[in-house]
Chain A
Amino acid sequence: MSKGQLPRWVDYGVLPALNLLAAFIISGLVVVVIGEDPFEAVKWLVWGALGYGEGIGYTLYYATNFIFTGLAVAVAFHAGLFNIGGEGQAYVGGLGIALVCLAMDRFVPWWVTFPFAIIGGAVFGAAWAFIPGYLQAKRGSHIVITTIMFNFIASALMVYLLSNILIPQGTMSPSSRNFEAGGQLPLLRNVFTSFDFGQSPVNLAFFLALAVCVVVWLLIWHTKLGYEIRSFGANPDAAAYAGISPVRITVVTMLISGALAGLMGINVVMGEQTRLLLDFAGGAGFVGIAVALMGRGHPIGIILASMLFGLLYQGGAELAFEIPTISRDMIVVIQALVILFAGALEHMFRPAVVAFFDRFSSSTAEA
């Protein structure tokens, strides 16, 4: 190992742990400032997320959302594209899933609907990402701008559809009708009855998310397309010189990215809510950016980062519930600190750790 480099377990294990620790220490100070006991807060946060079956179920449920959106951002990242439109793509993907469920739920069992719903979500999500991808490739319109704008177009489209077309007559809430059993994904609490998931909404979409992680890993590191995506991301000019079409890679990568984000609806629309409702994505598309950054674009890292954010979401809700002075805005502060230290300041501790390991390795070399 050369000087200034770190063993992989330090790079991928110790550094993130240090960042996380720093984030929690600062959060603890904020908790002290508002007059609460930080250890009590941590206790509720961790217990609420991992202490009992239902908490674990909710943590996994949120993590499932973040795995999908995290993978979506990561795939685009490998091609050097910053897809901020995961939110809109997930929202529109949910529409595709809901349309499939609404069309099929009364006639067939869920396992017949399931593959069609996956296709529906992926196709709608991909279609929503196609236009920004195409504009980037052909017209040079920056993808960051267009995907953000498409988030707004998506929400406008969904408000229109939900309050005019999909809404059942005479109801107040802008949402579609409830899916019958044929449009409902089985909840894990009904599948694994030996483990007590309480009333949590974690469902089979969790396993779909894990399967998609494997697919993305194979795609990015073990296929020709994946190689092209990574080459293009590393150096677009060199990739073009080597005969890789920038237009094709940009559009195809965005299609894959949008399809992955679109699958998020499987978890929420088909798994938990069993209906399409306003704002169901609830910011998961944006959390996906943080998840992809923290997970370094690798599926394993994304799963771990998703679990962390799932823990923060679920534990945070329990914390706000148990200690009323810690409002939901406090929870957002804690989440933001984690993103700040793990994302923006990820190299803060690096020089110190490198120095430590250099001294350590040189002293062992002498001995």
Chain B
Amino acid sequence: MKTTTILGAVALAAVMTTGAMAETFKPAVVYDFGGRNDRSFNEAAYKGALQFEERTGIKFRDFEIQNPSQREQALRNFARRGLDPIITIGFAQAAALEKVAKEFPDTHFAIVDSVVDLPNVRSIVFKEGEGSFLVGLLAAMSTESDTIGFVGGMDIPLIRKFACGYKQGAKYAKPDIEIIENMTGTTGAAWTDPLKGGELARSQFARGADVVFHAAGLTGTGVLQAAADEGKLGIGVDSNQNHLHPGSVLTSMIKAVDVAVDKTLTDAKEGKWTSGVEVLGLAENGVSWSYDEYNKPLITAEMQSAVEQAKMDIISGKVEVHDYMVDSTCPF
């Protein structure tokens, strides 16, 4: 029984890709808490959809949820009105998507940052650990006090993925380096509190750190500001934040959510939709470190060659970055 429904759904999905999708292509995006303008994760998704709109002229609908019950409601509202594909942003949407995607087997769904195993869902996850490994390595190579810091938004698995890769990369470069780790808060405000981010960064500087990496959304702008004020170094996250404080941002761990959203919409439009899990790491350019005119003076030739070497080693499998999700622990 179960296999037949799944087979049916696959068949329907296949028909959909070739047929109905071409005539009326109406994409939609559902953001999580934080919303379209959070200067971080959700905004990256918005930018990706915007890039698609500018290139193709196809308008997209979007919705910002306000409470947990609206996740399901927004997905269902879009699906009912025939919007297709529908992209949901954030791991918190997984449970809602699982319900709604089953109700609308003909509609194409995608989710960023989580895996939903259904025949009409594309799941996009990133290897945040790999990108964080590289910036950790750079932090370890540029610190003079052999102490570096990490400021996370909330103590949840996603942020531990960042922290674990960062620690591994730092210890790869300097095995006896000290890493100070702080989380901002326990409510949604943890992602939108630059003041507290700045305070945490300053306390880490006081404890001897001279490079701090943040994975805390808008809160992180306070971290980078504090680093610039105190003449220390910050490391940006998600999008390229090097330009925020030129000369004070060592690099940024780029997570290409915008590219992923744009690509998903493009695939759907061109009939190249595939369901299943898409894992984007260094090899796929899903994560990377940023190097541009703003941080050029901070990156020595030695650092650059080391980080590029590490990148190649990770891609080739010579260096294995620990995946926090495998065993929910970080050995570093």
Write the residues of chain A forming the contact surface with B, with a CB cutoff of 8 angstroms.
58, 61-62, 152, 155-156, 158-160, 163, 167, 169-175, 178, 199, 201, 268, 272-273, 275, 277-280, 282-283, 313, 317, 320-321, 324, 327-328, 331
Q: What are 11 A-B contacts with C-beta separation under 8 Å?
A: A58-B73, A62-B69, A158-B186, A159-B155, A169-B328, A199-B72, A199-B76, A275-B95, A277-B95, A282-B68, A328-B35
Inter-subunit contact A174/B157 (CB<8 Å): yes
Inter-subunit contact B64/A328 (CB<8 Å): yes
In the complex, what residues of B have CB within 8 A of residue A275's CB? 95
> Taking the nearest CB of chain B, how far is it from the CB of A154, in angstroms?
9
Known: A173-B95, A317-B73. A156 touches B186 (CB 8 A): yes
Is the C-beta of B319 less than 8 angstroms from some C-beta in chain A? Answer: no
Inter-subunit contact B68/A313 (CB<8 Å): no
| Residues in B94-110 with C-beta less than 8 Å from chain A | 94-95, 103
Complex: A2 Cα to B303 Cα, angstroms? 87
In the complex, what residues of A have CB within 8 A of residue B91's CB? 172-173
Complex: A275 Cα to B72 Cα, angstroms? 14
Complex: A199 Cα to B99 Cα, angstroms? 11
Complex: A340 Cα to B155 Cα, angstroms? 36
Q: Which of B63, B95, B325 contacts A175 (CB 8 A)?
A: B95
Is the C-beta of B187 less than 8 angstroms from some C-beta in chain A? Answer: yes
With a 10 A CB-CB cut-off, give which of A61, A199, A283, A313 has the most chain B CB atoms: A199
> How many of chain B's residues have a CB under 8 angstroms from any CB in A?
36
Inter-subunit contact B94/A173 (CB<8 Å): yes
Q: Which of A152, A199, A320, A328 contacts B187 (CB 8 A)?
A: A152
| Residues in B135-192 with C-beta less than 8 Å from chain A | 154-158, 186-188
Inter-subunit contact A321/B64 (CB<8 Å): no
Inter-subunit contact B154/A159 (CB<8 Å): yes
In the complex, what residues of A have CB within 8 A of residue B68's CB? 268, 273, 277, 279-280, 282
In the complex, what residues of A have CB within 8 A of residue B154's CB? 159
Other A-B contacts than A163-B156, A172-B94, 18 sampled, CB-CB below 8 A, are A58-B69, A58-B73, A61-B69, A155-B186, A167-B157, A170-B325, A171-B157, A172-B157, A201-B72, A277-B68, A277-B95, A278-B92, A279-B33, A279-B188, A283-B67, A313-B67, A321-B77, A324-B62
In the complex, what residues of B have CB within 8 A of residue A331's CB? 66
Is the C-beta of B248 less than 8 angstroms from some C-beta in chain A? Answer: no
Q: Which of B77, B114, B155, B187 contacts A163 (CB 8 A)?
A: B155
> Taking the nearest CB of chain B, how far is it from the CB of A28, in angstroms?
21
Complex: A155 Cα to B158 Cα, angstroms? 18
Is the C-beta of B61 less than 8 angstroms from some C-beta in chain A? Answer: yes
Inter-subunit contact B74/A172 (CB<8 Å): no
Is the C-beta of B20 less than 8 angstroms from some C-beta in chain A? Answer: no
Is the C-beta of B309 less than 8 angstroms from some C-beta in chain A? Answer: no
Complex: A129 Cα to B7 Cα, angstroms? 52
Complex: A324 Cα to B83 Cα, angstroms? 15
User: Which partner residue on chain A sits nearest B159 by CB separation?
Assistant: A163
Inter-subunit contact B187/A279 (CB<8 Å): yes
Q: Which of B63, B92, B95, B187 contacts A321 (CB 8 A)?
A: B63
Is the C-beta of B113 less than 8 angstroms from some C-beta in chain A? Answer: yes
In the complex, what residues of B have CB within 8 A of residue A199's CB? 72, 76, 103
Is the C-beta of B300 less than 8 angstroms from some C-beta in chain A? Answer: no
Nearest 10 A-B pairs (CB), nearest first? A282-B67, A172-B91, A156-B186, A159-B186, A155-B186, A173-B91, A155-B187, A163-B156, A174-B156, A172-B114
Inter-subunit contact B92/A324 (CB<8 Å): no
Is the C-beta of B206 less than 8 angstroms from some C-beta in chain A? Answer: no
> Taking the nearest CB of chain B, how far is it from the CB of A65, in angstroms?
9
Complex: A159 Cα to B184 Cα, angstroms? 12
Is the C-beta of B1 less than 8 angstroms from some C-beta in chain A? Answer: no
Contact mask for chain B residues 12-29; partner A; CB cutoff 8 A; 1 contact, 0 none: 000000000000000000
Is the C-beta of B305 less than 8 angstroms from some C-beta in chain A? Answer: no
User: Which partner residue on chain A sits nearest B154 by CB separation?
Assistant: A159
Complex: A277 Cα to B325 Cα, angstroms? 19
In the complex, what residues of B have CB within 8 A of residue A158's CB? 186
In the complex, what residues of B have CB within 8 A of residue A201's CB? 69, 72
> Taking the nearest CB of chain B, how far is it from the CB of A38, in angstroms?
21
In the complex, what residues of B have CB within 8 A of residue A273's CB? 68, 95
Complex: A174 Cα to B157 Cα, angstroms? 7
Complex: A63 Cα to B171 Cα, angstroms? 53
